[in-house]
Amino acid sequence: MSAENVEIVRCAIEAYDHEGLEGALRHYDPEIEWTSTGDYIEAATYRGHDGLRRYLGTMEEEFEDLRIEPVELIDAGERVISCVRFTGRGKASGAPVEMTLISVGSLRDGLIYRVRNYPDMTEALEAAGLRE
Q: Nearest to residue 35, comparing CAs of 51, 22, 14?
A: 51
Average pLDDT taken over every residue of the chain? 92
Q: Which domains does the chain have, with CATH numbers?
A: 2-127 (3.10.450.50)
Element (H, E) at 99: strand 96-108
Q: How far is CA 22 from CA 26, 31, 48, 86, 131, in A?
A: 8, 15, 13, 17, 34
pLDDT digits (tens, 9 = 90+) for 59-96: 788 888 889 999 999 999 999 999 999 999 999 999 99
Band of residue 41 on the pLDDT scale cut at 50, 70, 90:
low
pLDDT of 103: 96
Q: For residues 83 and 32, give the distance between their C-alpha atoms in angstroms, rounded to a whole number.
A: 19
* Alpha helices for 20-131 (secondary structure H): 21-24, 48-62, 121-127
pLDDT band at 39 (very low <50, low <70, confident <90, very high): low
pTM tops 0.85: yes
